[in-house]
Amino acid sequence: MTDSSESTESMLAQLPMENFWDIPLYQWQGLRYRSYHLQATMDLRSHFSARHDDIILASPMKTGTTWLKALCFSILNAAASGGDNRETLAKTDEDHRDPLVENHPAVYVQTLEVQVYTSNPLPNISSMKSPRLFHTHFPYTALPDSVKTTGCKLVYIARNPKDTLVSMWHFFNNLRTPQQGPYPFEKAFEMFINGVSHFGPFFDHVLQYWNQSLKAPNKVLFLKYEDLKGNPIKEVKKLASFMGKPFGDDKKVEDEIWQCSLERLKNLEVNKNGVDPWAGMHNSAYFRTGIVGDWKNMMSDEMSQRLDRITESKFKGSGLCFEI
């Protein structure tokens, strides 16, 4: 055991703990973490040194992280392999040259607390070429100071709480055996509204980044899943410009959108049959329906109204609202 893991162990013993499904979550500075996430937070805060040109993606769980990873990776990759002069490739040719065909987007954009800092307080990331692209589910308040004080950029993706919860319920059901069956949705609902979820309360997580994006719009770009679905050209152009890799014309934006679309990624062999070694999940678990309003298939009117009231009171005065 390292000194740092020993001190996290003793810290965990002092923290309030609640179970999310069968997973113990610890409350630290108002938000909830799995034990290994908390260890990774400590290591990240002690050792991660942001570069001025790092781009860090951030999100709560199940709000479109995989999509954002694919888009940002492709934007950087396309720019690196041709910049503004890159030719539009025929779709069949593109498949041969698109790394997303080989691996799930999480292989190219690694999550700091899941892939980079887990079991390794000192990962070798200083040799990575700039601009480095990482992802995290950490709340803004838990990020290392260097992320906040250097010029590095943050791109956050949020999603309406109802679809987030339903997506989460489907995702974690993948970890259950056929004998166990799906987790009771009513229990998952109560947990979510009470803030018991990974990095929850969801509302606090979203508000932290929302407020930062208002304070420093050149540093934090706040995207909504629903906007990306509704007007992908506008949102992807905004994203690419924010990343410093603006598109020359709309045809290239359309190609990028197609390349990273749910329909395409979901049907790639690697995502149909591959396994995510970090979470022990099938890659297919990350690609489902992507429907805005899918919550209607799960929630009673009473639940829907309750969640609306909570959302309204949490976001009141912030200027933040979601299409549901």
**Residues that bind ligand A3P in the complex, under the rule CB under 6 A:** 59, 61-67, 70, 163, 167, 170, 260-262, 265, 286-290, 294
Q: Which residues are catalytic?
A: 137
Q: How far is the CB of 9 from ligand A3P (least distance, A)?
A: 29
Nearest to 75, CA basis, from 251, 244, 286, 271: 244
- Pick between residue 46 and residue 289 the one whose CB is nearest to ligand A3P: 289
CB of 287 to ligand A3P, least distance (A): 5
Per the CB < 8 A criterion, the answer to whether 31 and 199 are in contact is yes
Q: Which is nearer to ligand A3P, 63 or 136 (CB)?
A: 63
CB of 226 to ligand A3P, least distance (A): 11
Check if the beta carbon of residue 161 is closer than 8 Å to that of residue 311: yes
Q: Are 260 and 74 in contact (CB under 8 A)?
A: yes
In angstroms, rounded to a whole number, what is the distance separating the alpha carbons of residues 183 and 129? 43
- Answer for the pair 77, 252: CB distance below 8 angstroms, yes or no: no
d(Cα 113, Cα 130) in Å, to the nearest integer? 20
| Cβ closest to ligand A3P, residue 8 vs residue 66 | 66
Query: Could you tell me whether strands 275-276 and 220-224 are parallel, antiparallel, or unpaired per DSSP bridges?
Result: unpaired
Tokens 């059901």 map to which residue?
173
Q: What are phi and psi of 29, to 5 degrees?
A: 50, 40
Q: Which is nearer to ligand A3P, 52 or 176 (CB)?
A: 176
To ligand A3P, the closest distance from the beta carbon of 235 in angstroms equals: 12
